[in-house]
Amino acid sequence: MTTMAPDTGAQDTAGYEAVFDAAVAAEERIEPRDWMPDAYRATLVRQIAQHAHSEIIGMQPEANWITRAPSLRRKAILMAKVQDEAGHGLYLYSAAETLGTGRDELLDKLHSGRQKYSSIFNYPTLTWADVGAIGWLVDGAAITNQVPLCRCSYGPYARAMVRICKEESFHQRQGYELLLALSRGTEAQHAMAQDAVNRWWWPSLMMFGPPDAESSHSAQSMAWKIKRHSNDELRQRFVDICVPQAASLGLTLPDPDLRWNEERGQHDFGAIDWTEFQEVLRGNGPCNDQRIGQRRRAHEEGAWVREAAAAYAAKHGKATA
Ligand SMILES: [Fe+2]
Ligand SMILES: [Fe+2]
């Protein structure tokens, strides 16, 4: 879309709103300089920021295992994966910047607890198998959530998601392959893989957010074509994808109620413990304090890098001029 509204202050915006609505209805992309409703902009900033924060906080649980990876090959793969997540954060903070909200402001909100990141990263990585379970289940759930975002109505976000999804699919496969190696290994390795899946399965299902009936932002986001499918639809899709994959891994999913429903053509699954979800969201998960503490420390310790980069840019800019 290319219709650009001049800065008209309090002037009536009904005409612009109609152009915006028509563009969204016609599956056109809204671009940074197009007119957009304030609430659409605010919703996007909130969602993209939470997504960006999740990418960079999500580096911590896996980085925890880089020094202890069991082989050079595994270490190289894990380092590449963790670096990818930093890159995802960068694309997303840049997408938020196109909406007029800078990275400093968003990081400040993360560090002061005014913006959230995905609760999944408040769980600890206790064994090497957790790296596999995170890749298979957490990156797998992220892909299920994010593939529809490649068609999001806001152009910069949609385009960032295309690249991110390609990398997430590599992450998912490395996790699957790692778990397969453990599952086919010794009895102790198989048990380690099963234990990791037991711990990560339910939190992964929570990644899709609260049930549709309780999801406060869903309806408006669907109308704006930011979101394309409901939380419950995506969760169901994820369960249906994982069941046959677990079978080929030789691992079981920790849910006695999980079974194929012939009538629905989908799997039925057990009730999710939403009390646990709410508790982690409130800051009472196993690692909330550790994650945010580490993030703040990294930011403070990186101050000299930001200062040096700014000084270099200023000097370089002057020289060019
Ligand atoms: Fe990512
Ligand atoms: Fe990832």
| DSSP secondary structure of 39-104 | HHHHHHHHHHHHHHHHHHHTHHHHHTTGGG-SSHHHHHHHHHHHHHHHHHHHHHHHHHHTTT--HH
Q: Quick one: 309 exposed, middle or buried, by C-beta within 10 A (0-12, 13-18, 19+)?
A: exposed
What pLDDT was estimated at residue 311?
A: 95
Q: Of the ligands numbered here, which is closest to the C-alpha atom of 81?
A: 2
What pLDDT was estimated at residue 6?
A: 52
Using the mean position of ligand 2's atoms as its centre, give its distance from the Cα of residue 264 in Å: 31
What pLDDT was estimated at residue 139?
A: 97
Q: Which residues surround ligand 2, an ion (CB under 5 A)?
A: 139, 168, 171
Q: How far apart are CA 81 and CA 213, in angstroms?
A: 35
What pLDDT was estimated at residue 318?
A: 75
What pLDDT was estimated at residue 4?
A: 56
Decide if 175 contacts 134 (C-beta within 8 A): yes
Q: How far apart are CA 189 and CA 251, in angstroms?
A: 12
Using the mean position of ligand 2's atoms as its centre, give its distance from the Cα of residue 118 in Å: 13
Tens digit of each residue's pLDDT, the chain (321 residues) = 555 555 555 457 889 999 999 999 999 999 999 999 999 999 999 999 999 999 999 999 999 999 999 999 999 999 999 999 999 999 999 999 999 999 999 999 999 999 999 999 999 999 999 999 999 999 999 999 999 999 999 999 999 999 999 999 999 999 999 999 999 999 999 999 999 999 999 999 999 999 988 877 778 899 999 999 999 999 999 999 999 999 999 999 999 999 999 999 999 999 999 999 999 988 999 999 999 999 999 999 999 999 999 999 999 887 766
pLDDT tens for 272-320 read 999 999 999 889 999 999 999 999 999 999 999 999 999 999 998 877 6
CA distances from 47 to 16, 41, 43, 106, 183 (A): 24, 10, 6, 11, 37
Counting DSSP H helices and E strands in the chain, the numbers are: 14, 2
Q: Of the ligands numbered here, which is closest to the C-alpha atom of 88?
A: 1
Query: Distance of alpha carbon 134 from its chain centroid, rounded?
Result: 12
Using the mean position of ligand 1's atoms as its centre, give its distance from the Cα of residue 276 in Å: 24
Using the mean position of ligand 2's atoms as its centre, give its distance from the Cα of residue 135 in Å: 7
**For residue 27, which of 158, 151, 156 has the smallest C-alpha distance?**
151
Using the mean position of ligand 2's atoms as its centre, give its distance from the Cα of residue 171 in Å: 5
SS3 of 195, please?
helix
What pLDDT was estimated at residue 219?
A: 84
Decide if 45 contacts 96 (C-beta within 8 A): yes
Using the mean position of ligand 1's atoms as its centre, give its distance from the Cα of residue 313 in Å: 28
Sign, CA torsion 253/245/199/193: positive
Q: How far apart are CA 95 and CA 92, in angstroms?
A: 5
Using the mean position of ligand 1's atoms as its centre, give its distance from the Cα of residue 200 in Å: 17
Q: Of the ligands numbered here, which is closest to the C-alpha atom of 90?
A: 1
Using the mean position of ligand 1's atoms as its centre, give its distance from the Cα of residue 44 in Å: 18
Q: How far apart are CA 24 and CA 109, in angstroms?
A: 30
Using the mean position of ligand 2's atoms as its centre, give its distance from the Cα of residue 59 in Å: 9
Using the mean position of ligand 1's atoms as its centre, give its distance from the Cα of residue 117 in Å: 12
Using the mean position of ligand 2's atoms as its centre, give its distance from the Cα of residue 174 in Å: 10
Q: How far apart are CA 193 and CA 190, in angstroms?
A: 5
Using the mean position of ligand 2's atoms as its centre, give its distance from the Cα of residue 103 in Å: 21
Query: Distance of alpha carbon 36 from its chain centroid, rounded?
Result: 25
What pLDDT was estimated at residue 317?
A: 82
The angle that helices 155-183 and 187-206 make with each other, rounded to 10 degrees, is: 150
